[in-house]
Amino acid sequence: MIDAYVGLGANLGDRMESLRAAVEQLAREPGFLLRGTSPVYETDPVGPPQPRYLNAVARIGTLLSPRATLRRLLEIEELLGRVRRERWGARELDLDLLLYGDRIVADGALRVPHPRLHERAFALVPLAELAPDAYHPQMARTAEELLSDLPEDARRGVRLVGNLRRGLPEPEPEGGPSGSPPPPPDPFPRVC
């Protein structure tokens, strides 16, 4: 199984819920095995004036080809309401195939590793947090090394927000919601 890294971004609507819904779809998608997610970061937009983004990275295992993987990512975007308006414009959800194992792919519009990954703090910060040793085969550098190569001012625009995955519900206090202790066990239980 090949480890692939998917960049997630959203800057319209409920941004956190869009990222969570995307991760839930990745986890349910046939051919994908969700292996981890980075924390979520708020980042400055690239391109025309628009709202700030929330960004994260997911690691998936897959046996699908890079093209089939990208096709599934585009289908998830569409399923979750992505509308393509303008290049680098605001969006409800953006899923980018950042890395696909150590493969280099140049096939039509498909480029892996993502052509601007090494320049973008909004992708490198969460990638390096999730998988510091993820290897960029064209640059012959790890995610952590690529991040350290970025100017400090580029990294300063990436601020930690929190975790992407929903936490488990807290257990109820002992004795149930009222907080009273449970009744003592019956010393003479009925046996039928």
d(CA 103, CA 58): 18
List residues with catalytic annotation: 82, 91, 94, 96
Tokens of 59: 């690691």
Residue 151 has a CB neighbour count (10 Å cut-off) of: 8
Sign of the four-CA dihedral 65, 70, 74, 80: positive
In contact, 9 and 52? CB cutoff 8 Å = no
Q: Which long-range contacts (CB under 8 A, 24 or more apart) does 132-136 make?
A: 134/3, 134/5, 134/99, 135/99, 135/102, 136/99
